[in-house]
Amino acid sequence: MVELLKGKAVASSIKDNMRKDIEELAKGNKVPTLGIVRLGDNPGDISYEKSIIKNCDNIGIKSKVFKKDVNIETEELVELIEELNDNKEISGILVFRPLPKHIDEEVVRNAISPLKDVDCMHPLNLEKIFEGNMDGFAPCTPKAAMEILKYYEIPLEGKNVVVVNRSMVVGKPLTMMLLKENATVTICHSRTKNLDEITRNADVVVVALGRAKFFDEKYFDEDSIVIDVGVSLDENKKLSGDADYDKVSPIVSKITPVPGGVGSVTTSILLSHVVLACKNI
Ligand code: NAP
């Protein structure tokens, strides 16, 4: 019988720890506050923003939205970020990505104060991850995947872990986090040959293609532990992971559901970073 690695319990445990920290901060009259920078009215951004604000409200974190026109120039966006860097009320800054094509993302990434960089945009914070220092602001999605593995006590030391993704937001930082836990990591991507053979032979497989139901039963066996990071719409416009859940769940040992898996932990990680930023200021 497959074990479902649900995100809700993981998120609750992260929130319990956060509540204690928020109470401590309140004694010093400090309230963790998230500054959200949104460009334009992308429905995906608006829905993510609503969910973050709701989660902030529920736990006692303040949030403020700084909405700008989607045609804003890089210089003006940098000015806003610098104002937020200097604003003592703001503990952490989240800039919604992807940024419009005309914005120089490199300049923006470097403008954000590393101390307020709760979404790990600044190169300094990413560099820390690559050096094996996990105490700062790690990228939220790979950290959420790691928190799930930790919460469900899935051993990583000496285990073969396959990550199907090589992006800077998911696959590469996740690989560093897994190495820190002494896993033996293989990174796969669109040019990988015999992907099914590689994933079938792994102890843990992290899939993050963003292609609904791509992975069927041929990619796994009865010992496979599947962490599904992918979120996209299937042919019926239903939210789906990269794994074809109906085909895969009867044969694998453990799997994260979508929705209700990695995505449900990501926001808690982000909020925990806002609390950490407030403690550090
Ligand atoms: P991305 O940059 O498009 O990366 C996709 C990766 O999948 C790339 O490394 C790509 O390889 C690889 N890939 C594509 N087709 C493949 C194939 N046929 N076989 C093997 N590998 C293949 O996307 P991303 O920003 O990293 O995000 C990945 C997905 O994670 C998103 O689509 C989204 O669904 C999900 N996501 C979830 C959360 C969450 O909180 N749950 C947060 C962020 C993202 P190449 O490098 O060779 O192109």
Does 93 score more than 90 pLDDT? yes
Give residue 85's pLDDT: 98
Give residue 136's pLDDT: 87
N-to-C CA span, the chain: 47
Question: Is the CB of 199 within 6 Å of ligand 1?
Answer: no
Phi and psi at 111, nearest 5°, equal -80, -30
Mutate-to-test residue for ligand 1 from 94, 119, 170, highest number of ligand atoms within 8 A of CB: 170
Q: Which atom of ligand 1 sits closest to the CA of residue 191?
A: 47
Does 37 score more than 90 pLDDT? yes
What's the rounded mean pLDDT across residues 38-60?
Answer: 95
Mutate-to-test residue for ligand 1 from 205, 229, 266, 273, highest number of ligand atoms within 8 A of CB: 229
Question: Is the CB of 270 within 6 Å of ligand 1?
Answer: no
Question: Is the CB of 230 within 6 Å of ligand 1?
Answer: yes
CB atoms within 10 A of CB 7: 25
Q: Specify the residue for token string 């963790």.
A: 32
Please tell me the residue having the least CA distance from ligand 1 atom 1: 167
Does 75 score more than 90 pLDDT? yes
What's the rounded mean pLDDT across residues 225-253?
Answer: 96
The continuous run of DSSP H or E covering 180 comes out as helix 171-180
Question: Is the CB of 174 within 6 Å of ligand 1?
Answer: no
Give residue 135's pLDDT: 86
Distance CA 34, CA 40 (A): 19
**pLDDT band for position 238 (50/70/90)?**
very high
CB half-sphere exposure, 96, CA atoms < 13 A: 23
Does 281 score more than 90 pLDDT? no
Question: Is the CB of 187 within 6 Å of ligand 1?
Answer: no
Distance CA 244, CA 121 (A): 32
Strand 254-255 to 225-228 pairing: parallel
Percentage of the chain modeled with pLDDT above 90: 98
Instruction: Convert the pLDDT of each residue in 133-170 to its tens digit.
Output: 998 899 999 999 999 999 999 999 999 999 999 999 99
**pLDDT band for position 240 (50/70/90)?**
very high
What's the rounded mean pLDDT across residues 30-43?
Answer: 97
CA–centroid distance, residue 57 to ligand 1 (Å)? 31
Q: Specify the residue for token string 């974190």.
A: 61
Beta bridge partners of 219: none
Q: What letter represents residue 139's amino acid?
A: P
User: Which residue segments constitute the domains of the chain, with CATH numbers given?
Assistant: 28-113 (3.40.50.10860), 140-263 (3.40.50.720)
Q: Which residues contact 36 (CB under 8 A, 6 or more apart)?
A: 49, 52, 53, 63, 64, 65, 66, 94, 96
Lowest-confidence region among 35-39, 58-62, 199-203, 277-281: 277-281
Question: Is the CB of 266 within 6 Å of ligand 1?
Answer: yes
Residue 234 structure tokens: 């299937």
Please, are residues 84 and 35 in contact by the beta-carbon 8 Å criterion?
yes
Question: Is the CB of 139 within 6 Å of ligand 1?
Answer: no
Helix intervals (H) in 131-261: 140-151, 171-180, 195-200, 245-248
Q: Please indicate whether residue 50 or residue 281 has the higher confidence score (pLDDT).
A: 50
Mean pLDDT of the chain: 97
Q: What letter represents residue 130's amino acid?
A: F
Give residue 105's pLDDT: 96
**Nearest-5° angle of CA 179, CA 180, CA 184?**
25
Please tell me the residue having the least CA distance from ligand 1 atom 13: 190
Strand order in the sheet with 62-68: 62-68, 33-39, 92-95
**pLDDT band for position 99 (50/70/90)?**
very high
